Amino acid sequence: MYGAQVGSATRPYEFIRFDTFIQKTKKLYTDSRTQRNLDKLNSELKDVHSIMSKNINEVLSRGEKLDAVAEKSTRLTFESKKYANQATHANRMRVLRTYAPLGVVLFAIVFLMWWFYFR
């Protein structure tokens, strides 16, 4: 309620209005004879407990999701490297299949020319 104004406080008694709120709240909870106040306090504690439990469960769920994302990322990195290696190998095989027959023919021609020339 007054949290944003704390940094701009210039006088010691600037929050005197907040003190009246604190005093009223204190009176509300100090009268332990009434069961209503204890029930109200227990109700608020249960609310805080349920909110904190929910927050902790959400944090744990996020952690599990982050672990799953990290695992998928690692697997994707491995598979992409594997794909790159296979693509490189396929490209080499394509070049070999394209130019190997031409190389064999040229080698045969050069060999025959050498054979007939140096014979």
| Domain residue extents for the chain | 1-30, 40-117
pTM, two decimal places: 0.44
The position carrying tokens 């020319």 is 113
pLDDT tens by residue, 30-88: 766 667 777 888 888 999 999 999 999 888 888 888 888 899 999 999 999 999 999 99
With beta carbons less than 8 A apart as the criterion, state whether 2 and 16 touch: no
Task: Determine the pLDDT at residue 83.
Answer: 95
**pLDDT over threshold 70, residue 93:** yes
Rounded Cα distance between 49 and 95, Å, is 69
